[in-house]
């Protein structure tokens, strides 16, 4: 029994000695704070990453906005062309409803790509365009005729401003002229030339 105790004591001494040896491991040099150069490099990398993320938000918004505008303008033009011919909402069939539906659907898509981190230079005119889109949809719902022109003109101006700002994020095709063209007849509603479909690849920063 005493032999077992002596063996246990011996093992304990060896283990204790092992701990003592581990405690004498080589210390790590350094104070625990990063060098100034490392901090500056990290901050620069972080800033570049944030800027890249914000720019990508602008690219995504512009791509969706331009794509939605094509559908919105197409629906509006189909409606207003028929209205210019018959001068009566009762004779345009369901084109007025379709035009409003395209305006609402397009606005919902665009609004879904606006966020608190979207660059202001493109977010602000986009929000303004959404407001004028709502007014245009309301004018159609109220069956306005000649009064449709100034609202459509404002809508076109706001759309052009978005396209102008989006040129900083996506290359705009030379054929993307969104200026209004007068329809036949004095005081008749105007059609709007649709912007071209947004390119698939973003511009190189």
State phi, psi for 189 to the nearest 5 degrees.
-60, 155
How much is the pLDDT for 12? Answer: 42
* Cβ proximity of 149 and 189 under 8 Å: yes
Highest mean pLDDT among 54-58, 106-110, 200-204: 106-110
pLDDT in tens, 115-157: 989 999 999 999 999 999 999 999 999 999 888 989 999 999 9
Domain ranges of the chain: 43-192
* Cβ proximity of 58 and 64 under 8 Å: no
List all residues 6 or more positions away from 117 whose beta carbon is below 8 Å from its beta carbon: 53, 54, 57
Average pLDDT of the segment spanning 42-54: 50
């Amino acid at each position: 029994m005493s032999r077992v105790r002596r063996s246990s004591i011996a093992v304990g001494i060896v283990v204790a000695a092992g701990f003592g040896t581990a405690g004498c491991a080589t210390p790590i040099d350094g104070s625990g704070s990063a060098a100034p150069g490392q901090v500056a490099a990290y901050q620069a990398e972080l800033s570049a990453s944030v800027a890249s993320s914000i720019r990508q938000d602008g690219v995504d918004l512009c791509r969706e906005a331009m794509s939605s505008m094509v559908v919105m303008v197409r629906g509006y033009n189909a409606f207003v062309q028929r209205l210019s011919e018959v001068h009566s909402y009762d004779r345009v069939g369901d084109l007025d409803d379709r035009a409003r539906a395209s305006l609402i659907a397009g606005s919902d898509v665009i609004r879904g790509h606006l966020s608190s981190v979207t660059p202001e230079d493109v977010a602000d005119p986009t929000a303004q365009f959404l407001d004028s889109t709502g007014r245009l949809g309301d004018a159609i719902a109220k069956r306005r005729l000649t009064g449709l022109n100034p609202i459509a003109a404002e809508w076109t101006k706001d759309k052009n401003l978005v396209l102008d700002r989006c040129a900083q994020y996506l290359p705009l095709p030379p054929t993307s002229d969104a200026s209004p063209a007068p329809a036949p007849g004095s005081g008749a509603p105007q059609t709007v030339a649709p912007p071209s479909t947004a390119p698939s690849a973003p511009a190189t920063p």
